[in-house]
Amino acid sequence: MPGREARFGEKPIDQLHVLAGMLIDVLPLDLPFAFFGHSLGAMVSFELARQLHERELAVPQHLFVSACSAPHLCHRGTSRAHLSDAELLRLLEGFGGTPKEVLGHPEYLEMVLSILRADFNLIDEYLVPDDCDARFPITAYAGTRDVHVNPIKILAWDRWATHDFVCHQFDGDHFYLTEHREALINDMFGRWRKSDVSKAADACA
């Protein structure tokens, strides 16, 4: 994504609908696919799937969303992008996803803050269009000790799901998937195969 890794010299994208539109332009749609998104990635996955549906293009067979509130509950009155540098860094450390060693290097600090502001704005200013009628098979994942995402707001993904909505918990915090990577992947592929078989059966009925 712009602002990261080999594209660190580019301005980060801070509007979710713009980012999803860019991804659609490069997304291969010739084979069956599913999306997995963790935290902000869950919102990117949803908006990408929503735009594919709106454009009447191929849509994911399954959405796997992790550690993120449902799309209609993410919008904030004031984006966290407007927090001070110190407040942003404290917030980031609270999530536990960025090593303190990285934050201790002044040459990285400006880049980190720029990306962080854009990322928070992506989710904090996102609004699902009022006329959105997209629904997908959705499985939501959560860490049992994640203090950053209210379980009720994760269960609210059911609003955008077809009849086969499931919420599955793993022991851990916001980054539970670091410890449970293999189990998470196995669970996703198992559920994806199951939903694919169900669709095939419905098509033959």
β-strand pairing of 63-66 with 35-38? parallel
Q: Are 81 and 114 in contact (CB under 8 A)?
A: no
For the chain, domains (ranges, CATH) are 13-74+131-143+152-199 (3.40.50.1820), 76-125 (no CATH)
203 pLDDT above the threshold of 60 = no
Identify the CA nearest to 67 among candidates 141, 132, 172: 141
pLDDT of residue 201: 45
Is the distance from CB of 14 to CB of 3 less than 8 angstroms? no
Residues 121-134 pLDDT 10s: 998 899 999 999 99
Q: Under a CB-based contact definition with an 8 Å cutoff, are residues 83 and 111 in contact?
A: no
The residue from 39, 45, 69, 195 that is catalytic is 39
Q: Is residue 172 over pLDDT 90?
A: yes
User: In whole angstroms, what is the distance from residue 163 CA to residue 167 CA?
Assistant: 13
pLDDT tens for each residue of 140-162: 999 999 988 999 999 999 999 99
Contact partners, residue 175, CB within 8 Å, separation at least 6: 67, 95, 96, 97, 143
Q: Among all chains, which residue has been given the structure tokens 């890794």?
A: 5
Per-residue model confidence (pLDDT) at position 101: 63
Burial class (CB in 10 A: 0-12, 13-18, 19+), 84: exposed
pTM: 0.85
Q: At residue 204, does pLDDT exceed 70?
A: no
Amino acid residing at 155: L
pLDDT at 96: 63
**pLDDT cut 70: percent of the chain above it:** 88
Known catalytic residue at 66 = no
Axis-axis angle for helices 106-124, 40-54 (nearest 10): 50
**How do residues 73-123 score in pLDDT, each as one tens digit?**
988 888 888 888 888 777 777 776 565 666 667 677 777 788 888 988 998
DSSP assignment string, 26-92 = H---SS---EEEETHHHHHHHHHHHHHHHTT----S-EEEES---GGG---SS-GGGS-HHHHHHHH
pLDDT of residue 205: 43
Q: pLDDT tens digits, residue range 28-67?
A: 999 999 999 999 999 999 999 999 999 999 999 999 999 9
